[in-house]
Structure 1
Amino acid sequence: MGGCVSVSSQSTCSSRSNGERMSPSCLCIDMLRRKRSRRTFSDHVATLQHLSSIPNRMITNGKSSNSCIFTQQGRKGINQDAMIVWEDFMGEDVTFCGVFDGHGPHGHMVARKVREMLPLKISSFMNSSESEPMTSGSSVNCCNGNVKSDVVDPVKDIPVEEGVESSWREAFLKAYKSMDKELRSHPNLDCFCSGSTAVSVIKQGRNLFIGNIGDSRAILGSKDSNDSMVAVQLTVDLKPDLPKEAERIKRCKGRVFALQDEPEVQRVWLPFDDAPGLAMARAFGDFCLKEYGVISIPEFSHWTLSDRDKFVVLASDGVWDVLSNEEVVEIVSSSPTRSSAARILVEHAAREWKAKYPTSKMDDCAVVCLFLDGKMDTESDNEEQSFSSATLQSNHSGNVMESDDGQHSEPCLQRNFTVRSSEDNEHNSRVPVGVDNAGGGEDQNWSGLEGVTRVNSLVQLPRFSEERPGQ
């Protein structure tokens, strides 16, 4: 059940025409540096086939040298969650992590497409920015984790660390935009009313660079001054109940309202029909709503790590619906082995679904745990892969063998709140600095909804009337 596609760097080195060997970390970058021409569907297939030969890239249940990942199918059909950990991404001490939660009839395919292509796009745009004059006068490589804030870019006379953050921000924004554009033009993937969330984190030395759309979430497990584990929420759940998100959607003629049977779940609707009822304000795909305020521009943020920061957890909303940030940190930090942390967290979420919402269909769950000290425990192969038979059975159609069938108050940053018990009102510990709402607007510490049962991301597919208002 190991998730690493390849563990041998030598087996993935390709040869240049002059006989030189390429380093594995430069494999994808070299591919993306080639002159771009009009890409056909066969080009995309070739690119995806090439990914399987890249080392330290993990997309299925398992562990790596500093992380573990696990996903389990819910009770709604095919597993629409996807996840990735890519170590030595663009260089040493640079790790890419991502969780993608699809929705709609083709959501599983959208999520997997984003998982495959978004990291390549980020590396491509970051590589392009490195070759620009802005950084040509500096000896600091943007993929080098040893960036010193007292070094100054001679061209712009700004600290290099600030310049690196700006480069990553630009790379994230361009990559997300390009990803959505590619989905729109994909010949064999209908994204009109299907889409995916995306929370992606790049760890570069002591820095975390984070891009987020939708309601998947990233949190940080850290120790406070009393040496107790606390949770720090790194991303905001970008849902239609956030005032600035709702304002943008309404300004674009989209509608935001809740159904009678779920009065606290705000959804996005077309201006001329009560469809599709999307429960998030930003997403890849969902092109039926892109003209009406739903965007794919990520919220970008930067977090500087300290010795007190221990691990990062990325997860889809199936986890946050039933577990608080603090509960997740407690579960991960108390796991008997680091390599089992993601699996144990998913199993806790599954039990909470059954206990709290026995009449609701459990959502898919996907978890990435990245340990910041770069260490994993040593254990036998039997322990490492000791998945319960029940877990394997419920997980059979969405993981290792992936198939394509398949009024506004200001609460604290806590749960996803699509599902929440009324008595669970924990206080937030501390919030990340440097959060930038890339779609416009000031920093907002908004959360989601309380006291509702689990609902689908989409209520229904568009059923356009033959005559639209005003025609």
Structure 2
Amino acid sequence: MGACCSTEVKYKGRRHEEDDLEGKEEEGQQEEVTTTGHAGAIVRFQGSSSYTSMYTRKGKKGINQDAMTVWENFMGEKNVFFCAVFDGHGPSGHQVARHVCHTLPYKLSTVFKENDVAVGADKDWEASIIRAFEESDEDLILEESLDSYCSGTTAVTVIKQDEHLIISNLGDSRAILCTRDNENQLIPIQLTVDLKPSIPSEAERILKCGGRVFAMDEESNVPRVWMPDHDCPGLAMARAFGDFCLKDHGVIAIPQVSYRKLTSKDEFVVLATDGVWDVLTNNEVIRIVASVKKQSMAAKILVYYAVQAWRTRYPGSKVDDCAVVCLFLKKRPLLTRSLSDMSKNVASQLDGADSNLISKDRKTEEGETVINCDITVDPKALDELNRVKAFTKSSRLGSLNRRKTSKDFGGTEAN
């Protein structure tokens, strides 16, 4: 272990104690948790590798209901990656998220192998992905140890093989791609749609199935899904694993699936739960990740900034759980210009940024569209954090067009 210290840092003009930065000497990351998966894949639940960085942090709402995983050599194929994050909700949401985190990649791997499905531009894989998602959802019913009647989880996943990228999404977790425009500037492309009942097509399906969609008076900007005759559970998403009390009323486990062919301009993919997206824009996320010197630190630094954004913007709210997986498409450094040159550019782009940035993000080719005040800090992690802060300190985070709120549900907040 490296030397430890307790310290404070300046963040957007205010002072905050650094939190969640203790870790191993090697780049300050969480301890590696790996195992062997189907067809010999290397499975990670935290840590980092040559091309991936993962990190999760418990919020202030109780147990961490977020989960994440990375499978390398997915399906037994060299250099094929499967990455996913899951955001549980309801009384047993943490258990549902962890269960699906373990079973879904296995289902996908076996379905692909059994049907000899290739990852590519054709559509053979789409039916296999939908089948794996639906089977994983059905397995929850059979799992007697899990109460998934009024609990569930989101899921956003990517499978990467060579230049092929397949994206699948349930709920309001999100995946974005960082790429370069014709002027070599970093720009975000949102790869998924936040599947909420506020989307007209999602609300229409729910209403046709007898479900109800409305927002409570105290959170008029957050439409939720309710049972026909009971004011519960108040689900803030239109698709999810579990939540069987609403499966007959329009909530489905059929993912939105899309494909993107990667190019030499593409840099990395970020998958994260809404604890990140509720306080950071797509543009802010790619700037933070791109500015990290050591790629293995990217997820941790991003979570740190999300937590600080929660405290700065919503000091009276409970910080949400955060989970991030970064998949880097290249090993070479992202910063092709000096930090002093880039900081001016970043400042102008991030200063006053708001939700309008999201509408400016490009879509994929198919239109589809990551506490303790007295802490110990690893010196390497602190140096890395300070480097990122020097890169972005001249900019300030913009305001959001909405604020995420939660409704207590069965003693656990249903997000």
Q: Residues 376 and 451 (structure 1 numbering): CA distance in 2 closer, same or farther, change over 3 Å?
A: closer
1:289 lines up with 2:246 in the alignment: yes
Q: Secondary structure at the match of 1:273?
A: coil
- CA displacement at 1:127 relative to structure 2: 1.2
1:107 lines up with 2:93 in the alignment: yes
Alignment of 1:352-391 (within 5 A): 352-373=309-330
Q: Gaps (5+ residues) in structure 2?
A: 1-29, 335-351, 370-399
Candidates 297, 315, 332, aligned match of 2:289: 332
Number of the residue aligned with 1:151: none
| Matches of 2:87 and 2:175, distance apart in 1 | 13
Candidates 59, 62, 78, aligned match of 2:63: 78
Candidates 452, 457, 460, aligned match of 2:409: 460
- CA displacement at 1:92 relative to structure 2: 0.9
Number of the residue aligned with 1:51: none
| Deviation per residue, 1:135-172 (Å, 9 max, x gap) | xxxxxx826xxxxxxxxxxxxxxxxx54xx32221111
Alignment of 1:63-212 (within 5 A): 63-90=48-75, 91-130=77-116, 142=118, 161-162=120-121, 165-212=122-169
Q: Which structure has the bigger radius of gyration?
A: 1
Alignment of 1:310-321 (within 5 A): 310-321=267-278
| Matches of 1:459 and 1:237, distance apart in 2 | 22
| Contact 2:192-2:368 at 8 Å conserved across structures | no
- CA displacement at 1:129 relative to structure 2: 1.5
Count of matched residue positions in the alignment of Structure 1 and Structure 2: 333
Number of the residue aligned with 1:428: 360
Q: Secondary structure at the match of 1:219?
A: strand
Q: Secondary structure at the match of 1:124?
A: helix
Which letter maps to 1:350? V
| Deviation per residue, 1:370-427 (Å, 9 max, x gap) | 00125699xxxxxxxxxxxxxxxxxxxxxxxxxxxxxxxxxxxxxxxxxxx9954324
| Deviation per residue, 1:334-385 (Å, 9 max, x gap) | 11211111000000000000000000001000000000125699xxxxxxxx
Q: Residues 116 and 305 (structure 1 numbering): CA distance in 2 closer, same or farther, change over 3 Å?
A: same
1:246 lines up with 2:195 in the alignment: no
1:300 lines up with 2:257 in the alignment: yes
TM-score, normalised to structure 2's length? 0.76
**RMSD of Structure 2 on Structure 1 (CA):** 2.1
TM-score, normalised to structure 1's length? 0.68
1:28 lines up with 2:57 in the alignment: no
- CA displacement at 1:282 relative to structure 2: 0.3
Q: Residues 64 and 423 (structure 1 numbering): CA distance in 2 closer, same or farther, change over 3 Å?
A: closer
| Matches of 2:333 and 2:138, distance apart in 1 | 38
Number of the residue aligned with 1:57: 43
Number of the residue aligned with 2:226: 269
> Counting strand residues as a fraction of each chain, which structure ranks higher?
2
| Matches of 1:452 and 1:376, distance apart in 2 | 35
Q: Secondary structure at the match of 1:79?
A: coil
| Matches of 2:142 and 2:51, distance apart in 1 | 36
Q: Residues 423 and 315 (structure 1 numbering): CA distance in 2 closer, same or farther, change over 3 Å?
A: closer
- CA displacement at 1:231 relative to structure 2: 0.2
Number of the residue aligned with 2:170: 213
| Matches of 1:275 and 1:317, distance apart in 2 | 22
Point out which structure has higher relative CO (alpha carbons under 8 A, 6+ apart). Answer: 2
| Contact 2:355-2:401 at 8 Å conserved across structures | no
- CA displacement at 1:2 relative to structure 2: 3.1
Q: Gaps (5+ residues) in structure 1?
A: 7-11, 13-26, 30-53, 131-140, 144-160, 378-420, 438-449, 463-471
